[in-house]
């Protein structure tokens, strides 16, 4: 998968077994589970209130970026291509 996104948010998947699908990527609101993440772009922290669980969730976030997820479940996030 290759996708340009306005906002990529990364957080640990607390439902993971610690071996597989350890990371939640929220790409412009769409959630995808991956095994690992490599980030080659400026990052910042963010948090969102998750209404169904009545809790804040914190993220490592990247604005205006390109996301590539390969067949092994590895995500590569890079600065947006001009």
Predicted confidence (pLDDT) per residue in 21-56, tens digit: 999 999 999 999 999 999 999 999 999 998 999 999
Could you tell me if 2 and 76 are in contact, meaning their C-beta atoms sit under 8 angstroms apart? Answer: no
DSSP tag of 20: S
Task: Please state, in angstroms and rounded to a whole number, the distance separating the CA atoms of residues 69 and 55.
Answer: 28
Split into its structural domains, the chain has a count of 1
Predicted confidence (pLDDT) per residue in 55-77, tens digit: 999 999 999 999 999 999 999 99
Domain that holds residue 40: 2-79
Write down the pTM of the prediction: 0.89
pLDDT at site 81: 65
């Amino acid at each position: 998968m290759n996708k340009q996104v306005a906002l990529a948010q990364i957080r640990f998947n607390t439902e993971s077994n610690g071996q597989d699908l350890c990371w939640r990527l929220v790409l412009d609101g769409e959630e995808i589970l991956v095994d690992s993440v490599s980030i080659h772009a400026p990052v910042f922290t963010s948090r969102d209130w998750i209404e169904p669980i009545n809790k804040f969730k914190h993220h490592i976030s990247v604005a205006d970026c390109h996301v590539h997820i390969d067949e092994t479940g590895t995500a590569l996030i890079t600065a947006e291509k001009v």
